[in-house]
Structure 1
């Protein structure tokens, strides 16, 4: 009875102290401690380490849900051989994040469609998230539309301020925004608000010289590029589209074969490899 009472009391105390992981595991740790003759300090250390590890795991899971990163896109499955102008070591250094994110610097990925920019940006975001940074991945057009709604509701400043809780905001397909005064003005306000404050990672198909297709006013184009480039690292992925290259390879491999081929029994057809964004 005394043991039951003590266990109940301890459970209540751990609730009050907000130590849910220790609450779940303390009895098995205590049993092992009794069996192996641990000193009290070792038991306390083991419980504390377990609580910290569980908090880190829950934090990463929560941040990962918020981040909306592209599923399955990691540095491990990114084909660095297909983009020889991008150094794996350089990208790994960027994934540490300490220098550029703390200073509100930017990262810009330029290159034609299908070169892996979206994959790489999401993979960098995932690596940074796993080391404790808060990240949000968004299609630029989708985010701009949400900001436009906020402006109509007289809540644009609040909406932009809420985005400040993310250390890194990834704007994918930046140059696909319509050349529309309402859209580009909210985008410019977002860029200005994060300048030297919070970091942006931008992927774009067009070089800077073609960004007048995004911003209708030349002065706004110059100001936006100036703010983005001032403290930035620029990676150019000037390679042939991965999707186009894969399609051509499939076509060449199938040359001379019958139009249709029966699949032998008991033999499964391997799935097509997932194309990077």
Structure 2
């Protein structure tokens, strides 16, 4: 057998073996790297390390892409674009520390964001979700009412425990707009079971318009309200975002454009006219 024929056979065998080993990136790039290694006289260790680095980098990219798809985050929300000046009571340094995730997600702690409608809670929650995914954590963002309805269906099908267990694959479950759960025993009971199941095991980030004192509007049973609050705050960081509309402020500043005075918080009539959402 001639040398070119032998090389062709070895190349074909290598492709099959790399498929079996599930190393698609190495299968794609190795001829280019091999040619460069031959030309530049790379030692074998450098050649293998270069191939391994590319395989790992591509796996990270695919994992990030998969986790972003699963997370269902609202698009365009990131900590880089979040206007911390609009919520001065929230420390940017603290938020950036939270975005690393290690100090709280690994212990099943929670994060609670309170404030009026349009105060920036959902934007900050989504931005934190993106940052945590970039740091290697698995996140799911959902409106509380949507998830509660899915869990109610699971209960009717006698599969509630399994449905809640499937959510364990997410390090962080972001429940947006807790306030909009109706004061209905069936809805609030599945929400309570979810909170109880994740207690001290998996983390939750909850946004809510009402302080704890008004959660009786969500949970009709006072004992259930107390138990839910107790489980959520036992290991929790709480951000109070009691500011005028974040979206209104952003809309004003966008309309203002460069070189014009910053919007004043007392000019609410003007602000209301440009609020788009």
Shared fold, TM over 0.5:
yes
Deviation at 1:87, TM superposition (A): 1.1
Deviations along 1:32-86, one digit per CA (max 9) or x if unpaired, are 1111111111000000111111111111111110000110100000000111111
CA gap of 1:10–1:192, structure 2 versus 1, over 3 A, is: same
C-alpha distance in 1 between matches for 2:68 and 2:131: 11
Would you say 1:129 and 2:133 are equivalent positions? yes
Report the counterpart of residue 171 of structure 1 in structure 2.
175
What is the RMSD computed on CA atoms of the aligned residues? Answer: 1.9
Would you say 1:106 and 2:128 are equivalent positions? no
Structure 2: runs of 5+ lacking an equivalent: 258-273
C-alpha distance in 2 between matches for 1:274 and 1:71: 20
CA gap of 1:158–1:25, structure 2 versus 1, over 3 A, is: same
C-alpha distance in 1 between matches for 2:72 and 2:7: 47
Report the counterpart of residue 48 of structure 2 in structure 1.
44
SS at match of 1:114: coil
Mapping 1:233-272, distance limit 5 Å: 233-245=237-249
Report the counterpart of residue 262 of structure 2 in structure 1.
none
CA gap of 1:23–1:161, structure 2 versus 1, over 3 A, is: same
Report the counterpart of residue 261 of structure 2 in structure 1.
none
CA gap of 1:116–1:3, structure 2 versus 1, over 3 A, is: same
TM superposition score normalised by structure 1: 0.89
C-alpha distance in 2 between matches for 1:158 and 1:3: 53
CA gap of 1:20–1:239, structure 2 versus 1, over 3 A, is: same
SS at match of 2:219: coil
Report the counterpart of residue 61 of structure 1 in structure 2.
65
Deviation at 1:242, TM superposition (A): 2.3
Mapping 1:61-210, distance limit 5 Å: 61-210=65-214
Deviation at 1:244, TM superposition (A): 3.4
C-alpha distance in 2 between matches for 1:47 and 1:250: 47
Report the counterpart of residue 230 of structure 2 in structure 1.
226
Q: How many residues align?
A: 257
TM superposition score normalised by structure 2: 0.89
SS at match of 1:216: coil
C-alpha distance in 2 between matches for 1:274 and 1:26: 55
